[in-house]
Amino acid sequence: MTPTEMEARIVRYGDLIPCKTAFIDAHTPGSDQKENFTIIGGGVSESADQHVHIADTPGFNIGAAGQPPKCRNSLHTHRTAEVFFVLKGTWRFFWGRFGDAGEVTLQEGDIINIPTHMFRGFENIGTDYGMIMAILGGDDAGGGVVWAPQVIEDAKAHGLILGDNSKLYDTKKGETLSQGVSPMPLLTDEELKEFPEPTTTEVVPHYVARYWDMMALADNQPCDVIGESGLLRDRPGFDVEFITRGSIPTTPYTHADHEVIMPMRGHWRLTWEGGTTTLNPGDTVAIPPNVAHSLEPSMTGEASLFRIRANSDPAGRTMSL
């Protein structure tokens, strides 16, 4: 693989292209300043404006959300895993039908594996623009987003209608539903009973891992964060590992499945037969199967990254709640 070929599989943080009209709440006050990024795979954007950096899907999707202070993402859920780690800022994650069942605050480097079939939202509660990186299970990211009914109703009041084809129509621009397309139906009261309302104490111990705990556990070997026997026990169709300076072998290795590298702290040198490059925090690299490569910190100081690998597990519901 030549340096040019590898560079085509790297999405640099500084090159990320945002979409400000990705979802149904793009006009709703309080959510109208958020930016959505689709890095690997098609993601779950409802807008044709969404830029996709790398279309190939390795069994999961990689995306990101960028938000200024006090901006929030509205309550929704997915049919497959949604995992976030905080790259920049301080974030509050909340869940439940109306977002009041429970909440947790995450700092930079913390990771959350939000259970499927549970309404969730998130808000930048820091003082600067924040960024969270996302992993979505499945090649088609679970087939889209399921919104809490009040989100769809609020959006309609501000000019956005979601069709049952999962596409947005902006009435402020004179758009109308295409022929044969109906508005996305609201979940019924009976259907809403199937969505759990777990408390903070029920969710946080099993679905949140803190950065400094992972740093300690990855002192000598990679920390298995999400997996069948991971720190957060689940089988979402991919495995997540946390790696530090002391836990990554510097000798070349290969893997039979797709591997995605996402640096959290420090600068990392990626070397493969054919070239070498430096990865920085916020960069994302998609390494194809069976490509021999090695990773090592290129400077002194704190260094950490997340490594996501595809596996044979089907993308689906969270193991337990």
Domain boundary among 169, 185, 208: 208
Sign of the alpha-carbon torsion through 142, 147, 152, 158? negative
Side chain identity at 196, as an amino acid letter?
A: P
Residues 6+ away with beta carbon under 8 Å from 12: 280, 282, 283
- Would you report the helix, strand and coil content of the chain in percent, each value rounded to 5? 15, 35, 50
Rounded to whole angstroms, the Cα distance separating 311 from 227 reads 10
Structure tokens at 234: 């689940």
Both 48 and 164 in a single domain? yes
Rounded to whole angstroms, the Cα distance separating 110 from 265 reads 12
**Domain-located, residue 318:** no
Domain boundary among 192, 208, 224: 208
Both 256 and 108 in a single domain? no
Both 114 and 44 in a single domain? yes
C-beta contacts of 298-303 below 8 A and 24+ residues apart: 298/266, 298/267, 298/268, 298/269, 299/266, 299/267, 301/266, 302/245, 302/265, 302/266, 303/244, 303/245, 303/265, 303/266, 303/267, 303/268
Percent of the chain with pLDDT over 90: 79
Sign of the alpha-carbon torsion through 218, 273, 280, 20? negative
Both 87 and 234 in a single domain? no
Q: Which residues of the chain have pLDDT under 50?
A: none
Rounded to whole angstroms, the Cα distance separating 61 from 83 reads 10
Beta bridge partners of 76: 120, 147
Neighbour tally for 7: CB within 10 Å: 12
Residue 246 belongs to domain with CATH number: 2.60.120.10
Both 204 and 188 in a single domain? yes
Both 203 and 268 in a single domain? no
Range list of H helices, 109-199: 149-157, 189-192
Domain count, the chain: 2
Structure tokens at 172: 């402020």
Question: Could you read off the pLDDT of 258-277 as tens digits, one per residue?
Answer: 999 999 999 999 999 999 99
Domain boundary among 181, 208, 235: 208
How many degrees, rounded to 5, is the angle at CA 228 between CA 293 and CA 210? Answer: 75
Question: Could you read off the pLDDT of 70-112 as tens digits, one per residue?
Answer: 999 999 998 889 999 999 999 999 999 999 999 999 999 999 9
**Domain-located, residue 321:** no
Both 265 and 199 in a single domain? no
**Domain-located, residue 156:** yes
Rounded to whole angstroms, the Cα distance separating 302 from 244 reads 8
Q: What is the pLDDT of residue 141?
A: 65
3-state secondary structure of 270: strand
**Domain-located, residue 243:** yes
Q: The domain containing residue 43 runs over which residues?
A: 13-208
Q: What strands, in cross-sheet order, belong to the sheet with 60-67?
A: 52-54, 35-40, 60-67, 130-137, 82-88, 111-114, 208-209
**Domain-located, residue 317:** no
* CB contact at 8 A, 146 and 76: yes
